[in-house]
A and B are shown apart, each in its own frame.
Chain A
C-alpha cells in the first residue's frame, strides 16, 4: 500500500507549484504588506511558502534530493510539523519515547518536503492567489486561496493555521476547500500501523520520502 501522495492531497500543492516560476510572484489580493520581518501575519507566511516553492522551481535544474534539501527548512518554518506529525499518529503518539517522537516528526517533515519536491517538475504556468484570511474555530485562522491558470478551472486551497510561540504555522491544508490533509494522514498512518510496528512504519515513511 502506498501513501497517497497523489493529486487529491497535494493536488492543490501541485497546482500551486505549477505557478509560473518565470513570471513574477502573484500579487496578494488583500492589501497586506509582507515585508518578511517576523512576526508575519498568517497570510504572509503562506505568501512566503509559495515564494519559496516558486524559487526552487525557477532555479537551475536540481536533483530530487537537492530540491528536498532546499524545501525542508521552508516546510518546517511554515508548517507546525510537530502538531501534524503527532496528530497523524493518534493515540500511539502518547506512548512514544522522546527519541522516537523526534524521529517521527523528522520523517514527517521530510515526507512533506518530498511531496512538494516530487511535483515541482513540470509545474509551470499557474499562479497562487490569496483570497482572504478569516478567523476559524478553536483559535485558528483560515487562509483561503486558489490556484489559477490559463487552461484549468481554479482549484481552491485553504490553509488552517495557528500560532506557535508567536509565529503562525500551518496545521491543516484543505484541498478543494474540503479535503483535510490531516484526516488523510491520520487514515493512512492508521492503516500502516495495522500492518506493521511503529519502528517499521518510521522506516517506511523515511523510505518513501526518498523516492523521487
Chain B
C-alpha cells in the first residue's frame, strides 16, 4: 500500500526531525545529560516534598455550584454542628459502665481544645437521665414499673436500714411466705443478686451489684454516642489523622481498651473519610511497588537486556518525580482519583522506552554502533511515539471540559505526564544506553508474538473478522444493561472500623445514613410538611423535631405516678435505723442462713426454692471462712454499692412532669431547629437505596414536595447525573478528537477508520464484560472507557505506521514493533492490575476494569487489527488488478 518513499508522508516530519536532532545531541553528551537530569530530578523531589497535598474531601470532587451541592451547603450552614462529625460509639453490657465511660470521655475531650471544637453527648444530658422513664416505650416502661413493684419490699427495707441487716430482714419475711407454701414476688431476683455478689467474693473476683441495670433492664448491649467536631486548621497528608489519633489516645488513657467491659469505636464523616484515605494510600503504595516489580520481571523476560531495563526504570522514576511536581504546579493537590496517576504512568511511561529500545535492538542486529542505532531508532519510532503521546493525552484530557473536576485533575496530571514521559524517554533512556560501549543483541529468539500474529490474522483474516463482528453485536446488546453505582459508601473498604460501626449503628436505629433532609420554614409547619412526606409511598417514616418529645406522655405519667405512689416508703422513709456494727451484721447473716438451712423441702415454687438454697450455700461460704466479720463487711459493700445514688435518680425520675419541645435541652433543640428558625425533618426511605431505580424514585418523590431536599439521596442522584453526563461527553470528545487527529496525521481516511476499530471494539467488550461480571461503573472506574478510546489506539498506530514504512505485513510482523507492542501492553496490564489489591473498592474496581480493557485491547489490536489490515490489503490488491485490467482493456479498445 505504501512504499519506503511514502515514509515522507509519515506524520509530522518536523517532529521526527526535531526528535532525531535531540537524541543525537543527548547521545553525544550522555554524562552531561544525565547530570542535568539528576539535578532537575533532585530539585523536583525537593519541590514535591514541600508542596504535595492530598485532598480527600469527596464533596469537592464536583463543582460546588451544582444545585444539589448548593442545597447541601445551605443545610450545613444552617446546622454547622452536623458537619464533619466524628461519632464515638460506646457499647457495653452494663448501663453504669456505658454512662460512666461517656461522661469520662466527654470530660476528657473537653479538656483538649487544641484538638476538639465541640463535644455533644446526646444521651448523657441530665435531662434525659431524669426523664428516662418518659422516653421508654409504654411496654418497656410498664415492665420497669412492674419490676419496681416486685422490688418494693426490698427497697423499702433498705431505705429504712441500708445494710445487709435490712436486706436479710426482708428476705426472712419472704421465707415466711415460702414456708406457708406461697411465693413472694421478687425474692428470686433478690436472692440471685446477693448470691452472685457473695459467690464473686468467695471466688476472689468481687463484683458489685449494678443497681442501675436492675432498675431499668436492658436487653443486649447498651449504646451511647458522643458526637465530636475537631479543630480544622490542620495541614496534613491524611486528613484528621491528628484528630483521630488524639481521640484514640484519650480513649486509651481512660483505660477503655479492648479488654475492658466497654468498647469504643469511631464512625461518622471524618473517620469514614480517614479510613478511606488510609486504604487508598496503602493500596496505591502497594500498587506502585507491585507494578514496578512486575514491570521489572516482564522486562527481564521480554527483553533480557540489562541496559534497556536500567534505562526504562530510570525513565519511569524520573517521569514520576517530574510529573508529581507538575501536578502540584498545575493542579495543586491530589485527590482520591488523581492519585492513581502514578500507576497509570508506570504502565504507560515505559511504552516509549520499550519501543525505542527494541527498535535499537533491531538496528543493532545490522551491526551498527550504539549511538547511531539510537538516532536511527528515534527516527524510526519518533513519529509513532509522538502520535501516541498525543492520542493518550487526548484520552486523558477528554475529562477536562466536563463538570467532574476530580477526573479533570487526573486528566491534566496524566496528560502532562505523557509529555514528560515522551521527553524523558528520548532523553534519559538514550543517555543511559549511550553509556554502554557495545551492544549484545540476542539472536535466535523465538518470537512468540510474531507467531501469534502470523497464525491467526495472517492466515484466517476472514474468520477473525467474522468472529469479532459477532462478538461486537453481542457486546452491544450487553451494554444496554450497564449500571451506575454512585454511592460513596460502596467505594470504601467494607471491613474498616468506620464502615462496620456505621452498619451496626444503622441497624440499631440510631442513625439513618440514607435519610433525605428537608428544612421546613419553621417548627410549626414541620408537622404538616412531615405528614405530607410521610404519605408518600416511597417513604417509610418521617422524623420531625416534635418526635424528640416522648409520645403517650399522659399514659406514661400515670404509670410513673403509680410507682411513685407505692414506692413512697422506699423513697421517703419515715425513719432510719442506725447502721449495724460488724457483729450485728454477722448476726443477721447467720440468722438468715440458719433459717434457710432449717427450711424443710416442700411444695411450692421450685425456682424460688432453688434460689434460696443457692443463697444459703453462698452465705455459708461467707460465714464459714476466715475472718467472717470482715467478709460480711465486704459483702455488704458489694451488695449495697451505689444503691443510694440510684435511689436518688429514681426519686427524680418518678417526679417528672410532662415535657414539650421547648423543654428539651439546648443541645438537642439547636440540632433540630436552626438559628433562622428552620426545622429539620428527616425522611427515611422504604426501598433499598443501593438500587439506583429505587433511589431515584425516592429522591424524585421527595422533591415533588420539597424541591430543596438534601441528604445522601439527593447528593447521590446529583452526583450520578453529573457523572453520567460527564462520561458521555468525555466519550464523545475522546472519540472525535482522536479521529480528527488520526485523519490529520495519517492523511488517509481508510487508515484512520481502521485504527478506530480496535478501540471502539475494546470499549464495547470492556463494558459488556463489566456487565457480565456484575461490576457497575462507579465514581472511580468511569474513567476507563474514555481512556481506552484515547490510549488504546497506541498499539494500532505503531503497527500501521510500521506497516506503511515497510510496505509488507510479513516484514512488519518480523520487526520489533509487535514485540514491543505486546510487551508494553503486558507491562501496562501489570501496572493496572496492581490497583486491584487496594482495600479501597473504588480503586480496586478501577484496576480490574482497566485490566479487562487492556486484555480486550490486546486482542483487538494484535489480532483483529492485523486481520483487518491484511483483508484490506487483499481487497485493495484485487482492486488494483481490476484497474490494470480495465486500463489494459481501454488501451486495447482505443
As a 0/1 sequence over residues 135 to 156 of chain B, the CB contacts with chain A under 8 angstroms (1 = contact) are 0001000100110111011001
B184–A4 contact, CB under 8 A? yes
B177–A172 contact, CB under 8 A? no
A178–B150 contact, CB under 8 A? no
A50 at the interface (CB under 8 A from B): no
- Complexed CA–CA distance, A86 and B558 (Å): 12
Contact of B574 among A4, A177, A182, A183 (CB under 8 A): A177
Given A1-B183, A6-B176, A184-B185, answer yes or no on A179-B565 (Cβ-Cβ < 8 Å). Answer: no
- Complexed CA–CA distance, A171 and B565 (Å): 10
- Complexed CA–CA distance, A156 and B214 (Å): 29
List CB contacts (< 8 Å) of A10-38 with chain B.
Answer: 11
A49 at the interface (CB under 8 A from B): no
- Which of under 10, 10 to 19, 20 to 34, or 35 or more describes the interface residues of B? 35 or more
- Complexed CA–CA distance, A184 and B573 (Å): 18
Contact of A90 among B160, B183, B559, B569 (CB under 8 A): B559
As a 0/1 sequence over residues 56 to 91 of chain B, the CB contacts with chain A under 8 angstroms (1 = contact) are 000000000000000000000000000000000000
Given A2-B181, A91-B138, A178-B160, answer yes or no on A183-B149 (Cβ-Cβ < 8 Å). Answer: yes
A54 to chain B, nearest CB (A): 24
A172 to chain B, nearest CB (A): 7
Counting chain A CB atoms within 10 Å of each CB, which of B146, B160, B182, B566 scores highest?
Answer: B566
**What secondary structure prevails in chain A residues at the interface with B?**
mixed
Q: Among the listed stretches A60-68, A74-82, A185-193, which one makes contact with chain B, having 4 or more residues with CB under 8 Å of it?
A: A185-193
A187–B559 contact, CB under 8 A? no
- Complexed CA–CA distance, A172 and B152 (Å): 13
A5 neighbours in B (Cβ, 8 Å): 182
- Complexed CA–CA distance, A172 and B566 (Å): 8
As a 0/1 sequence over residues 544 to 576 of chain B, the CB contacts with chain A under 8 angstroms (1 = contact) are 000000000001001100100111111011100
- Complexed CA–CA distance, A137 and B573 (Å): 12
Contact of B180 among A6, A136, A138, A174 (CB under 8 A): A6
- Complexed CA–CA distance, A170 and B574 (Å): 18
B185–A191 contact, CB under 8 A? yes
- Complexed CA–CA distance, A100 and B159 (Å): 38
A156 to chain B, nearest CB (A): 10
- Complexed CA–CA distance, A70 and B558 (Å): 35
Contact of A180 among B146, B182, B566 (CB under 8 A): B566
B173 at the interface (CB under 8 A from A): yes
A161 at the interface (CB under 8 A from B): no
A8–B153 contact, CB under 8 A? yes
Q: Name B141's closest neighbour in chain A (CB-CB).
A: A91
A176 at the interface (CB under 8 A from B): yes
B591 to chain A, nearest CB (A): 14
Given A90-B559, A91-B555, A187-B150, answer yes or no on A4-B142 (Cβ-Cβ < 8 Å). Answer: no
A90 neighbours in B (Cβ, 8 Å): 142, 145-146, 559, 562
A8 neighbours in B (Cβ, 8 Å): 153, 173-174, 176-177, 184
A205 to chain B, nearest CB (A): 15
Counting chain B CB atoms within 10 Å of each CB, which of A136, A178, A180 scores highest?
Answer: A178
As a 0/1 sequence over residues 80 to 119 of chain A, the CB contacts with chain B under 8 angstroms (1 = contact) are 0000000100110010000000000000000000000000
A180 neighbours in B (Cβ, 8 Å): 152-153, 156, 566-569
B494 at the interface (CB under 8 A from A): no
Contact of A172 among B146, B153, B181, B565 (CB under 8 A): B565
A160 at the interface (CB under 8 A from B): yes
A89 to chain B, nearest CB (A): 10
B152–A179 contact, CB under 8 A? yes
B683 at the interface (CB under 8 A from A): no
List CB contacts (< 8 Å) of A141-164 with chain B.
Answer: 142, 144, 160
B558 neighbours in A (Cβ, 8 Å): 94
B145 neighbours in A (Cβ, 8 Å): 90, 186
- Complexed CA–CA distance, A141 and B297 (Å): 96
A157 to chain B, nearest CB (A): 12
A91 neighbours in B (Cβ, 8 Å): 138, 142, 555, 559
B96 at the interface (CB under 8 A from A): no
- Complexed CA–CA distance, A178 and B159 (Å): 9
Q: Name B148's closest neighbour in chain A (CB-CB).
A: A183
- Complexed CA–CA distance, A5 and B183 (Å): 9
B569 neighbours in A (Cβ, 8 Å): 174, 177-180
A186 neighbours in B (Cβ, 8 Å): 145-146, 149, 562, 566
A144 to chain B, nearest CB (A): 8
- Complexed CA–CA distance, A144 and B157 (Å): 17
A167 to chain B, nearest CB (A): 20
Contact of B572 among A4, A137, A172 (CB under 8 A): A137
Q: Name A178's closest neighbour in chain B (CB-CB).
A: B156
Given A136-B568, A184-B152, A186-B146, answer yes or no on A179-B185 (Cβ-Cβ < 8 Å). Answer: no
- Complexed CA–CA distance, A188 and B183 (Å): 10
Contact of A177 among B149, B160, B567, B572 (CB under 8 A): B160
List CB contacts (< 8 Å) of B180-212 with chain A.
Answer: 180-186
A109 to chain B, nearest CB (A): 19
A172 neighbours in B (Cβ, 8 Å): 565-566, 568
A4–B149 contact, CB under 8 A? no
- Complexed CA–CA distance, A8 and B145 (Å): 21
- Complexed CA–CA distance, A188 and B177 (Å): 14
- Complexed CA–CA distance, A186 and B182 (Å): 16
B605 at the interface (CB under 8 A from A): yes
A179–B181 contact, CB under 8 A? no
- Complexed CA–CA distance, A174 and B568 (Å): 10
A183–B153 contact, CB under 8 A? yes
Q: Name B142's closest neighbour in chain A (CB-CB).
A: A91
B156 neighbours in A (Cβ, 8 Å): 174, 178-180
Contact of A4 among B160, B177, B555 (CB under 8 A): B177
B149 neighbours in A (Cβ, 8 Å): 183-184, 186-187, 190
Counting chain B CB atoms within 10 Å of each CB, which of A1, A7, A136, A180 scores highest?
Answer: A180
- Complexed CA–CA distance, A34 and B617 (Å): 53
Given A187-B149, A190-B146, answer yes or no on A7-B570 (Cβ-Cβ < 8 Å). Answer: no
B184 neighbours in A (Cβ, 8 Å): 4, 6, 8
List CB contacts (< 8 Å) of B602-642 with chain A.
Answer: 605
- Complexed CA–CA distance, A5 and B182 (Å): 8
- Complexed CA–CA distance, A142 and B568 (Å): 11
Given A2-B181, A94-B555, answer yes or no on A183-B159 (Cβ-Cβ < 8 Å). Answer: no
B146 neighbours in A (Cβ, 8 Å): 90, 186-187, 190
- Complexed CA–CA distance, A87 and B569 (Å): 17
A2–B182 contact, CB under 8 A? yes
List CB contacts (< 8 Å) of B565-603 with chain A.
Answer: 565-570, 572-574
- Complexed CA–CA distance, A142 and B569 (Å): 11
- Complexed CA–CA distance, A188 and B573 (Å): 24
Q: Name A86's closest neighbour in chain B (CB-CB).
A: B562
A187–B185 contact, CB under 8 A? yes
A182 neighbours in B (Cβ, 8 Å): 565-566
- Complexed CA–CA distance, A4 and B182 (Å): 6
- Complexed CA–CA distance, A174 and B569 (Å): 8
Q: Name B173's closest neighbour in chain A (CB-CB).
A: A8
- Complexed CA–CA distance, A3 and B183 (Å): 8
- Complexed CA–CA distance, A87 and B180 (Å): 26
B151 to chain A, nearest CB (A): 8
- Complexed CA–CA distance, A186 and B146 (Å): 7
B562 neighbours in A (Cβ, 8 Å): 87, 90, 186
B567 neighbours in A (Cβ, 8 Å): 180, 183
B187 to chain A, nearest CB (A): 10
A174 neighbours in B (Cβ, 8 Å): 156, 569
Given A184-B185, A186-B566, A187-B146; 8 other pairs, CB 8 A cutoff: A7-B173, A11-B176, A90-B559, A160-B568, A172-B565, A180-B153, A180-B156, A186-B149
Q: List 9 A-B contacts (CB under 8 A).
A: A2-B181, A2-B183, A6-B180, A172-B566, A177-B160, A179-B153, A183-B152, A183-B566, A184-B149
Chain A residues with CB under 8 Å of chain B are 1-8, 11, 87, 90-91, 94, 136-138, 142, 144, 160, 171-172, 174, 176-180, 182-184, 186-188, 190-191
User: Which 4 residue pairs of A and B lie closest in terms of their CB atoms, listed nearest first?
Assistant: A178-B156, A183-B152, A183-B566, A186-B149
